[in-house]
Structure 1
């Protein structure tokens, strides 16, 4: 979860999974008009979304609400697409669709400050591509290559679970390693080991800080 404040507005990126008064908590931090965006519809990112009057999220994520039987009312949700700009005054964040981890995953690019808010779209050390609702690795590689075309516009990557990587942003080497791992698995050059950290079985490969978990049945 991130709160990004500009001179005119603030943007809340994801709404966590707790049951507290997130809206009230945010009001104690900023009195600026607030926009809310959900990067993807997993329970640890969308949990308190219904506290807010208007929420942006790709409608490609709606199927996950049903898949995971989440009690989320979508009446106040607005579809978001590639290229949407959140204009906060002195800061602008561009939405880039990166389907893979989920069908409608998005990242937010703050090109002026060379920052990418990626949530779980490229993982936080561990990238889960083996759980229900993910796309194939082949489809995901298309998304990564599209994002790689914008690589000159960001240097620091703020992921969705920074505590897992020492509460520090990741860098372009991490991104390059994720791309490498996906390419090598697809090419048959890397064979994964059994992954048991989580509710769903999978195989994993790793390079540097990047660890890709995948389902061998959904490579293509």
Structure 2
């Protein structure tokens, strides 16, 4: 029985190694093509990470997804999405951004997140007007499912960075308005309301003016007038 257990462990480690090599060979060359690899948990076990390696680990506890924001595919965004009780805190996922090295990975950014769903939670949209698609990560919904909340990471290909925008996850149903260079939030409740935001120099969002009721059925021309007036007054 002991020999059989050892044989099973050796087969599992070999499978993990093969999966990691295959993922490395199949990386996406351009953004926003995801080139993601998903490792699904069949059952819980102890964490399986080494001191030097973060990416392409065989982790039976969580689902790992990989995204490649730059043409240089050694740069990787890895999201470790776990059961809600796994970390024992309010957040259930970790985002890593770094470089995938042969033996010792470089990690430039590590963030704790809360992600309600287990797959298809990443979108690519420009949120700062540079025509580069940024990373928007779905967190959860409120208001009976009508209000969605996201995390936002801006992509900076020149300096090979991704930048988290602080407090973006407090904006309801966020959309970017390129004409006015603002972010529009739209909250669904007893009365639906618009809120207007900008991104500050220290990479956080802040409101512009007061929220206002959608008493004009979301007509684009009227919304444009309201935003123009708010920007003039603020």
Would the TM-score normalized by the shorter structure come out above 0.5?
no
Instruction: Please say which structure displays the higher CA radius of gyration.
Output: 2
TM-score by length of 1: 0.30
TM-score if structure 2 supplies the norm length?
0.28
The one of the two structures with greater contact order (alpha-carbon pairs below 8 A, sep at least 6) is 1
